[in-house]
């Protein structure tokens, strides 16, 4: 056995990197999370809105466990007090004039077919975003059922478990790191990585890291941006070319070709990110308390694809006596692309706030005489890296290049899951297991108990 356990660099502190690190830590390795943000959390991190107050769940709203492999993980975190079950009333909301349909009634029916055709879809062949990517009716964020929450609801006998983090979603990844004693380095950007001739990796970073800390025994890339993974594989290709003979054999040539194809595919997924806006606003409690739902997908709207009542989450239960309720909504990618073609920065957020405020008000109060009541203190922010479309479409949840001790995790790897958060979580778990299995085979760590 090695004198000291291998040290693993995990680049990216979102749910993929955090769960990969949790697995590595539990298997006797030493993961170190390196993240460019002020703290770990990724798409779970809230966005502070001074108008609304506090840090809201501005991105991912819920954590689902439609895949059986995730259920014990979420359950363990619930037992540790990091997650709480959410048992709100969820379903599908009509765009105009239609009522609320509970998910238990909709059942396994696919919501995608209920989505209204957008006037500019043009058979989904136009480049709506102006970036070479065709979007429209088949865009995963606009399919009608946000993150598959309705179609993956389950049955009355076995409802898919749904969780929120305590005290809020932003706290989950930092609390996992604290619970498992996982080291993390924040406000540090990994610019590149090169293979170490003795095995492992040497990082090139922009941030507060000592030069002696740059060497690691393995590397897990769990950033939402696949370009770092692409650039890292390109460094492998260059190193292999330099180390090979002038006339490499067919097997080696085919290996380099496959690595080159993977680089190309990773760059394509980077260019296919679908932006959305996350909106929050306050409505008078006397108007919203009678609504018979707490969260809903909106298949018919071209503006809003999902709405949720923040006060339905455990962390807001103590504010039940407040005279206003905070609601959160996620825009369609079509709306975001349309706004971002014309505006940027604050102007884009201001237009999204105006458009979504009107849409949310009409959605919540469809059949009410006060459906022209606008929210108080509303604000919208861009959620730029929310969704990948298309993904690499691999059967595996992660990429593992064993000869180079490199794992790649993220929601862009597989398209088998409706929720990008669930895809990222499963990808991180698998990446951690594959790296741990490699070191176990090398005799560096004992087998799992």
N residues, the chain: 449
Distances 271 to 77, 162, 320, 419 between C-alpha atoms, Å:
34, 31, 43, 19
CA 446 – CA 438 distance, rounded (Å): 11
Residue showing tokens 């056995």: 1
CA 147 – CA 330 distance, rounded (Å): 11
The stretches of 107-220 forming alpha helices (DSSP H) are 172-180
Cβ neighbours of residue 130 closer than 8 Å, sequence gap 6 or more: 341
pLDDT tens over the chain, length 449 residues: 446 899 999 999 999 999 999 999 999 999 999 999 888 988 887 655 556 765 577 778 899 888 889 999 999 999 999 999 998 999 998 765 468 888 888 755 444 455 444 444 444 433 333 333 333 334 446 777 888 888 888 776 788 889 999 888 889 999 999 999 999 999 999 999 999 888 899 999 998 776 567 899 999 999 988 999 999 999 999 988 887 765 667 888 899 999 999 999 998 887 667 889 999 999 998 889 889 999 999 988 889 999 999 888 876 654 555 788 889 999 999 999 999 999 999 999 999 999 999 999 999 987 666 667 889 889 998 887 677 777 899 999 999 999 999 999 999 999 888 888 999 999 999 999 999 999 999 999 888 87
**Are the CB atoms for 9 and 201 separated by under 8 Å?**
yes
Cβ neighbours of residue 440 closer than 8 Å, sequence gap 6 or more: 27, 446, 447, 448
Strands (E) located in 211-361:
215-216, 218-221, 273-284, 295-297, 304-309, 324-331
CA 365 – CA 10 distance, rounded (Å): 46
**Are the CB atoms for 312 and 295 separated by under 8 Å?**
yes
**Are the CB atoms for 275 and 340 separated by under 8 Å?**
yes
H/E stretch holding 385 reads strand 376-388
**Are the CB atoms for 95 and 298 separated by under 8 Å?**
yes
């Amino acid at each position: 056995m090695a004198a000291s356990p291998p040290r693993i660099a995990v680049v990216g502190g979102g749910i993929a990197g955090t769960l990969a690190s949790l697995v590595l830590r539990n298997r006797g390795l030493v993961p170190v999370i390196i993240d460019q943000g002020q703290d770990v959390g990724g798409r779970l991190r809230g966005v502070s809105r001074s108008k609304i107050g506090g840090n809201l769940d501005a991105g991912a709203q819920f954590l689902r466990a439609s895949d059986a492999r995730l259920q014990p993980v979420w359950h363990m975190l619930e037992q540790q007090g990091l997650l709480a079950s959410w048992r709100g009333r969820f379903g599908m909301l009509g765009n105009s004039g239609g009522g609320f349909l509970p998910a238990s009634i909709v059942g396994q029916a696919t919501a995608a077919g209920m989505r209204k055709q957008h006037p500019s879809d043009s058979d989904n062949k136009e480049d709506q975003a102006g970036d070479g990517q065709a979007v429209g009716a088949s865009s995963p964020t606009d399919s009608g059922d946000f993150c598959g929450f309705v179609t993956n609801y389950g049955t009355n006998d076995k409802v898919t478990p749904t969780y929120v983090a305590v005290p809020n979603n932003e706290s989950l990844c930092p609390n996992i790191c604290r619970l498992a004693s996982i080291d993390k380095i924040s406000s540090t950007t990994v610019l590149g990585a090169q293979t170490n001739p003795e095995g492992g990796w040497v990082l090139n970073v922009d941030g507060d890291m000592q030069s002696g800390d740059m060497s690691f025994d393995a590397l897990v890339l769990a950033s939402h941006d696949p370009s770092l993974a692409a650039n890292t594989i390109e460094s492998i290709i260059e190193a292999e070319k330099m180390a090979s003979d002038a006339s490499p054999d067919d097997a080696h040539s085919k290996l380099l070709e496959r690595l080159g194809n993977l680089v190309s595919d990773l760059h394509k997924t980077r260019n296919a990110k679908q932006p959305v806006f996350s909106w929050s606003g306050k409505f008078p409690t006397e108007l919203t308390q009678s609504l018979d739902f707490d969260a809903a997908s909106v298949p018919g709207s071209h503006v809003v694809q999902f709405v949720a009542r923040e006060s339905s989450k455990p962390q807001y239960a103590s504010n039940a006596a407040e005279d206003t309720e905070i609601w959160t909504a996620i825009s369609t990618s079509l709306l975001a692309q349309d706004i971002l073609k014309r505006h940027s920065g604050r102007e884009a957020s201001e237009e999204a706030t105006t458009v979504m405020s009107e849409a949310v008000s009409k959605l919540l109060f469809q059949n009410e005489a006060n459906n022209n009541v606008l929210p108080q203190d509303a604000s919208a922010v861009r959620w730029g890296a929310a969704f990948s479309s298309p993904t690499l479409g691999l059967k595996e949840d992660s990429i593992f290049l064993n000869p180079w001790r490199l794992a790649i995790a993220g929601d862009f790897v597989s398209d088998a899951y409706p929720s990008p958060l669930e895809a990222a979580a499963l990808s991180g778990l698998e990446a951690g297991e594959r790296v741990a299995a490699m070191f176990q085979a090398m005799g560096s760590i004992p087998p799992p108990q």
